Amino acid sequence: MQLKIYNSLAGAKEIFKPILEGNVGMYVCGPTVYSNVHLGNVRTFLSFDFIYRSLTHLGYKVRYVRNITDAGHLTDDGDVNNDRFVKQTRLEKLEPMEIVQKYTVDFHKVLEMFNLLPPNIEPTATGHIVEQIELTQKLIEKGFAYESNGSVYFDVLEYNSRGLNYGELSKRNIEELFANTRDLDGQGEKKNPQDFALWKKASPAHIMRWNSPWGEGFPGWHLECTAMSTKYLGETFDIHGGGMDLKFPHHECEIAQGKACNDAAPVNYWMHANMLTMNSQRMSKSTGNYILPMQLVTGENDFFEKPFHPSIVRFCFLQAHYRSVLDISNDAMIASEKGFVRLMEAVKVLGNVTPADEKQSGFSIEEWKNKAYDALTDDFNSPVLIAHLFEAVKYIFALKDGKETITTKDLEDLRSTLHALIFDVLGLQTIEENNNEKLDQTLKVLIELRNQARKSKNFELSDQIRDKLLAEGIELKDGRDGTFYILN
């Protein structure tokens, strides 16, 4: 079986050849932890979780590194008023590292809710300041960077003059880039407007600052990913992923830094996940067209008519290929819910199917398996894979109705393949599994008792049930479809 991956650098699908046979080094740009992740961010991380699960299922030993940006992802101009961490610390009256901790915890909670596996290494930018200073020094020594007024910039023209090509990933032409940029950044510190900061001098108001050979400052955002990916995966590694919007300048800068430092391309396969839109508009905090994951799950929002379970959200996301734009809407979620319920029902039905001695049906498990794996290995084509799962679903219901038969061997094969694809590869969970079945049933009993208390106007008891559960971190919500709970 050959795995094909769409490489953004080549602009085409390529046969995947890892550097070390059987092993994959994969780096994905993580979140900037100064606010809650929105559902769009989740889509990107979920796409790479599916890719990670697929690679592992296909037999690769994967080292998956996803960073936490807790410094450095600032507006490039170094203006303290544009520093996202500084802004948020003022707004919330918290220390920078309190902000970092608060939103890192939130990020982990959200991803766990959608059943994302943790990466093997989750390094932070603040934990790798030394490495970033060393890289900056190396770039200065090699003539690719220069100091200016306590900041250090990467010299893009110098890079290109040595036969390298800044713009190779985003297919941008350096002359056009120069023509289209006005020098608003860097207060004239840069030789050229396209030069990007490796190290930025801290103004007196900057609270996140470190000592360096150039005075007190903080690292540039692009540099942290080069520092951490090199440290944990090597100077050249297999796969680098991130959202489409990171192609330029972030990933372009990573390539330049890697090539300038190590005389080698840092990444063999660049993978970019496409954006989530809501009602046909890109999801983004800045435009206000966004929803927090929890708001979709609790139903507390103005976009969707009912709450949707995290497993259904996950299923909805996987129904689109990671390279396609996915538009989330009420109708799309309702359709996904129907599909998800039918898929899970088929899994249950298959558990009760009895095999026949002889097979008469025209459904070939072998052929079906081949088609499913062809989809998976064709650049991780989840929608086509799911379409094949539904062929099996149709067959399973025909088995239930006695319209088809299956041999013992085929039944075992179908069960194990279906389970592996649904639960291990797509990472879906049954609603009961996601909620913890026993706990789910217990809480349903308590919700029922509370409803009865309310009906008989025993508000003391109904409030007691709600408050005692809340004290245990279980919040009851009265939604449009009745009461449900959230585990905090």
Which of residues 96, 242, 307, 427 is near ligand AMP by CB under 6 A? Answer: 242
- For residue 192, count other CB atoms closer than 10 A to its CB: 16
Instruction: Return the residues of window 98-127 that contact ligand AMP according to CB under 6 A.
Output: none
Which of residues 275, 333, 393, 418 is near ligand AMP by CB under 6 A? Answer: 275
Beta carbon of residue 41, minimum distance to ligand AMP (angstroms, whole number) = 4
Beta carbon of residue 271, minimum distance to ligand AMP (angstroms, whole number) = 11
- β-pairing, 196-201 with 151-154? antiparallel
* E strand or H helix that includes residue 314: helix 310-318
Are the CB atoms for 260 and 234 separated by under 8 Å? no
Question: One symbol per residue from 318 to 337: x for binding ligand AMP (CB under 6 A), - otherwise; what is it?
Answer: --------------------
Calculate the CA 328 to chain-centre distance.
16
* E strand or H helix that includes residue 196: strand 196-201
- Considering CB under 6 A, how many residues would be counted as binding ligand AMP? 16
| Sign of the C-alpha dihedral computed for residues 336, 424, 245 and 302 taken in this order | positive
Q: What is the four-CA torsion angle of 177, 182, 186, 189, rounded to 10 degrees?
A: 90
Beta carbon of residue 14, minimum distance to Zn ion (angstroms, whole number) = 22
Question: One symbol per residue from 172 to 201: x for binding ligand AMP (CB under 6 A), - otherwise; what is it?
Answer: ------------------------------
Beta carbon of residue 242, minimum distance to Zn ion (angstroms, whole number) = 6
Residue 283 binding partner per list Zn ion, ligand AMP, none, with a CB distance cut-off of 5 to 8 Å that depends on partner kind: ligand AMP
Instruction: Return the residues of window 243-262 that contact ligand AMP according to CB under 6 A.
Output: 243, 245-246
Which of residues 28, 29, 55, 425 is near Zn ion by CB under 5 A? Answer: 29
Specify the residue for token string 């989840």: 382
* E strand or H helix that includes residue 268: strand 267-273
Residue 67's nearest CA partner among 210, 262, 241, 292 is 241
| Amino acid type, 45 | F
Rounded Cα distance, 195 and 190, in Å: 6
* Residue range at the interface with ligand AMP (CB under 6 A); choices 83-91, 231-239, 278-286, 443-451: 278-286
* Residue range at the interface with ligand AMP (CB under 6 A); choices 242-250, 328-336, 362-370, 402-410: 242-250
Choose between 107 and 485: whose C-beta lies nearer to ligand AMP: 107
Are the CB atoms for 139 and 145 separated by under 8 Å? yes
Choose between 52 and 395: whose C-beta lies nearer to ligand AMP: 52
Are the CB atoms for 43 and 273 separated by under 8 Å? yes
CA angle 29, 285, 26 (to 5 degrees): 10
Each as own residue / partner, the long-range contacts of residues 400-408 (CB below 8 Å, 24 or more positions apart, any chain) are: 400/349, 400/352, 400/353, 404/360, 404/361, 404/363, 405/355, 405/356, 405/358, 405/359, 405/360, 405/361, 406/353, 406/355, 406/356, 406/359, 406/361, 407/355, 407/356, 407/357, 407/358, 407/359, 408/355
Choose between 260 and 326: whose C-beta lies nearer to ligand AMP: 326
Residue 225 binding partner per list ligand AMP, Zn ion, none, with a CB distance cut-off of 5 to 8 Å that depends on partner kind: Zn ion
Are the CB atoms for 72 and 224 separated by under 8 Å? yes
CA angle 227, 223, 165 (to 5 degrees): 110
Rounded Cα distance, 488 and 485, in Å: 9
Q: Is residue 375 within the footprint of Zn ion (CB under 5 A)?
A: no
Residue with the shortest CB distance to ligand AMP: 243
Residue 136 binding partner per list Zn ion, ligand AMP, none, with a CB distance cut-off of 5 to 8 Å that depends on partner kind: none
Q: Is residue 32 within the footprint of ligand AMP (CB under 6 A)?
A: yes
* Residue range at the interface with ligand AMP (CB under 6 A); choices 7-15, 238-246, 302-310, 416-424: 238-246
The full 3-state SS of 413-455, as one line of letters, equals HHHHHHHHHHHHHCCCCCHHHHHCHHHHHHHHHHHHHHHHHHH
Question: One symbol per residue from 63 to 102: x for binding ligand AMP (CB under 6 A), - otherwise; what is it?
Answer: ----------------------------------------
* Residue range at the interface with ligand AMP (CB under 6 A); choices 212-220, 274-282, 295-303, 385-393: 274-282
Choose between 27 and 146: whose C-beta lies nearer to ligand AMP: 27
Choose between 197 and 261: whose C-beta lies nearer to ligand AMP: 197
Which of residues 33, 74, 225, 476 is near Zn ion by CB under 5 A? Answer: 225
* Residue range at the interface with ligand AMP (CB under 6 A); choices 36-44, 144-152, 313-321, 327-335: 36-44
Question: What are the residues binding Zn ion (CB under 5 A)?
Answer: 29, 225
Question: What are the residues binding ligand AMP (CB under 6 A)?
Answer: 29, 31-32, 40-41, 43-44, 242-243, 245-246, 275-276, 282-284
